[in-house]
Chains A and B, each alone.
Chain A
Amino acid sequence: MSLPKISRVPASRLLSAVHDPRWPLRSAAPLAVPKRALTQSGYRRPGQPREDKPPWQRIKFDFSKGLEGITKHFKLLRQEFSDRLVGPEGKPIIEHMLEQNRVIWEFRGPDSLQEWTLSSDREIGGQSEIHLKLGKNNETCFLYGTLQSAPPRDGETRYSGYCSMRSKQPLVSFDRKKHHDWSSFNTLHLRIRGDGRPWMVNIAAESYFTHQKDDLYSYFLYTRGGPYWQDVKIPFSKFFLTHRGRIQDNQHPLWLDKVNTIGFTLGDKADGPFQLEIDFIGVCKDYAHTEDFAYEVYKRNPEV
């Protein structure tokens, strides 16, 4: 049995490749959602040929695209300047003072799907699939696919079978990182309709050291599976620290003033189709929730 041939999609043409009919590997996604290119994940499957082009041959110089980019970034810069005149984060201060709920991601049109990135273990040679489209009446996002936990036959991977959807890092002009400031809030509010599978919600905060770039704060999301919508409120104090999927011993609470991305991961070892419909993702302030952090921070087995 041979695995389907996976062609290599260069990262620089990620978005154009989606619309380009020449590239053979296309999933049957009804709406083009950028998937992480195989080279972008940084893992080259053993046995795959290396990209032998030198860097100067990989550059694709396009004058009109360059001009478009410059105008786009200067427009964003001008927008930033005018936002600063209004108030912090482009909103008047009275809004910041009175805010108790904020909807961050709402799936109401095709543009909303462009803010999300999908990935599955197909990048490492597995067979899971994940797709994203708009739900009925363009009111929700519909995440669906198939989970296959058969590990890739490369001699080194033992476990496999994961699919995930992650929001893109928000950027301001000239591709500088912008962070979500959720310090006025203390609860994550999701409105979802799943199929009974247990998902994990992962929040990535801004980190300074390179060894912290895979630090994620995770919590579980158990979906009901019924035809009814499910309102899930997860306090941020419940999120625990993981690094590359492993729970860390030294836990600390998530600081909400510099949040980069949020993601949903499925890896419950149950092969088969899955689906998750999300209406909106928001944050809210629960005055009754006074817990700072749900887990012990002192050392349980101190080395003395």
Chain B
Amino acid sequence: MNPYILTILLFAMGLGTTITFASSHWLLAWMGLEINTLAILPLMCQSHHPRAVEATIKYFLTQATAAAMLLFASITNAWITGQWNLEFMSYSLPTTLVTVALALKIGLAPLHAWMPEVLQGLDLTTGLILSTWQKLAPFCLLLQINPSNTSLLLILGLASTLVGGWGGLNQNQLRKILAYSSIAHLGWMILVLQFFPSLTLLTLLMYFVMTFSLFITFKVNNSTTINSLSMSWSKAPIISSMVPFILLSLGGLPPLSGFMPKWLILQELTKQSLAPLATLAALSALLSLYFYLRISYAMTLTMSPNILSNALPWRLPSNQHTLPLAITTSLTICLLPLTPAIITLLTL
């Protein structure tokens, strides 16, 4: 892509999210979301492949619907209360509608159907931006509104964890697995939103770090199916040996960093007398863990029946920048001991 256009689009994406962060008026927040959506659309269909264009159109339709619902909800709230401020949503109808609109924006179950197809049509880098950056602005809004309907958020959260777990079980395509993993993690974030919002932010940031590592690993291997991961030993053995840790961290196993948000969320849910819900959420994490383990099995724990030419490949120095991958992999694996510091940081 023309570097000027690329700069403008990336800048616009940053601008959109920043406007939403900085806004206290609903119209400005909506505007930030719209700028964000429109800026990523050309990035998504850069390759002009019909599947990329299909993914772009599906993404645009869902996001535009969500933005329209958001606008309608905020105007309804302004009509009823006369307030355009984000924090003063006191009536249940606009608040519920805003929650549902933002759920559609980020891809929570049962409004998740677009996510696997859209991610499947994109290349890994754009998919990464979609899974990480595009979640920031809606979460900023979700964290600021006071949810009046407590059970809605719990239903959305639980449904997302279950759907994310079950949906990813029978996938061969890595991008669809990543989409379902995203849905599951978003479910965990929403579960604790109304009780301890800082934990939502913590889970979001941890998810960003972990999924960044995974996306970039797949990009380094240039693989989009489980089958093609089997060759990664010969391409990049160090990365292949680190990947099980990244995947187990995504699955939420101690002593890796991914355990931190899950542990704290389960603790908070238990404190709120929602122990059965916490149990169900923990059990649904097992489903996700199954497909993470499957990826690590295919990539690291098995060697594919090699043809002789692959046994000792030329290990040419790669041109890809792997420093971000190194940083995020280290954070994914080693951050658990810093839990008290992180909680203090987030509850300041």
Contacts and interface: CB of A to CB of B under 8 A. Distances in A.
A181 B228 CA distance: 14
Given A183-B227, A184-B227, A215 B172 contact: no
A96 B54 contact: no
Contact of B54 (A84, A208, A288): A208
B18 to A, nearest CB: 33
Contacts of A212: 50
Interface in B29-49: 47-49
A61 B32 CA distance: 56
Given A88-B170, A98-B305, A287-B309, A215 B224 contact: no
B316 interface: no
B120 interface: yes
Nearest to B49: A252
A174 interface: no
Nearest to B51: A255
Nearest to A285: B227
A88 B50 contact: no
Interface string B293-335: 0100010001011010110000000000000000000000000
Given A97-B226, A208-B57, A181 B50 contact: no
A287 B226 CA distance: 16
Interface string A255-289: 10100000000000000000000000000000110
B170 A84 contact: yes
Interface residues of B, number: 28
Contact of A208 (B47, B50, B224, B230): B50
Given A97-B230, A287-B310, A183 B51 contact: no
B173 interface: yes
A99 interface: yes
Contacts of B304: 97-98
Contact of A184 (B53, B120, B171, B228): B228
Interface residues of A, number: 24
A88 B172 contact: yes
Contacts of A208: 50-51, 53-54, 57
Contacts of A288: 309
Interface in A72-120: 84, 87-89, 93, 96-99
A84 B287 CA distance: 14
A207 interface: yes
Given A87-B170, A97-B230, A215 B225 contact: no
Given A88-B171, A287-B307, A97 B54 contact: no
A287 B228 CA distance: 11
A77 to B, nearest CB: 15
B63 to A, nearest CB: 17
A208 B54 CA distance: 6
A288 B307 CA distance: 10
A40 interface: no
Given A87-B170, A97-B304, A287-B309, A183 B224 contact: yes
B229 to A, nearest CB: 8
A297 to B, nearest CB: 8
A7 interface: no
Contacts of B298: 93, 97
A96 B227 contact: yes
A31 to B, nearest CB: 36
Contacts of A99: 227
A207 B173 CA distance: 18
Contacts of A255: 49, 51
B60 to A, nearest CB: 13
A39 interface: no
A97 B302 contact: yes
Given A97-B227, A207-B50, A212-B50, 20 more contacts: A84-B169, A88-B171, A89-B172, A93-B226, A96-B227, A97-B298, A97-B304, A98-B304, A99-B227, A181-B172, A183-B173, A183-B224, A183-B227, A184-B228, A208-B53, A252-B49, A257-B120, A257-B173, A287-B310, A288-B309
**What 5 A-B pairs have minimum CB-CB distances, sorted nearest first?**
A208-B54, A184-B227, A88-B170, A252-B49, A183-B225
Interface of B: 47-51, 53-54, 57, 120, 169-173, 224-228, 230, 294, 298, 302, 304-305, 307, 309-310
Interface of A: 84, 87-89, 93, 96-99, 181, 183-184, 207-209, 212, 215, 250, 252-253, 255, 257, 287-288
